[in-house]
């Protein structure tokens, strides 16, 4: 019936983490090159990767907190949707019961109309008999 219709965010988070790491690496290379312009490319790359990993290891928990928050949001949304399904189902049951009550009351009204018509006819017949006796 209803589900939380939003794609999982972990792939997007992973993609952004990778973009972040690449940006950090690029900036680290620029900083290192400015302070040590004689480093070879392989030394520069190795040193930049080392600092990038160190920086990322220090801040990784913040990205994981985002991932965890998204998981909590998704779980809560699913729980709320489930509660709405239960309420909707209860309302559907109430509606079915009310429709059944309406049907029964309509039948009762028809029966009462029929009884009233019968009594009215009997009253007419009694009036006719009373007139004939006079």
Instruction: Give pLDDT tens digits for 46-55.
Output: 999 999 999 9
Residue 55 falls inside a structural domain: yes
Number of domains, the chain: 1
DSSP state of 113: H
Q: Phi first, then psi: give them for residue 75, nearest 5 degrees.
A: -60, -45
Residue 87 falls inside a structural domain: yes
For 13-39, the pLDDT digits (tens) are: 999 999 999 999 999 999 999 999 999
Domain residue limits at 26: 10-133
Q: Is the pTM of this model over 0.75?
A: no
Q: Phi first, then psi: give them for residue 8, nearest 5 degrees.
A: -65, 140
For the chain, how many helices (H) and strands (E)? 2, 0
Residue 15 falls inside a structural domain: yes
Can you tell me whether residue 39 is helix, strand or coil? coil
Residue 2 falls inside a structural domain: no
């Amino acid at each position: 019936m209803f589900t939380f219709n939003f794609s999982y965010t972990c792939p997007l988070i992973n993609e952004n983490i990778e973009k972040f790491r690449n940006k950090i690496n690029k900036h680290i290379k620029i900083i290192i090159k400015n302070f040590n312009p004689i480093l070879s490319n392989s030394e520069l790359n190795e040193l930049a990767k080392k600092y990038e990993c160190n920086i990322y290891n220090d801040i990784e928990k913040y990205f994981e907190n985002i991932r965890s928050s998204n998981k909590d949001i998704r779980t809560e949304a699913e729980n709320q949707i489930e509660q709405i399904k239960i309420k909707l189902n209860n309302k559907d049951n109430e509606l079915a019961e009310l429709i059944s009550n309406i049907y029964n009351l309509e039948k009762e009204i028809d029966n009462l109309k029929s009884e009233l018509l019968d009594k009215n006819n009997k009253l007419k017949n009694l009036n006719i008999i009373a007139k004939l006796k006079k």
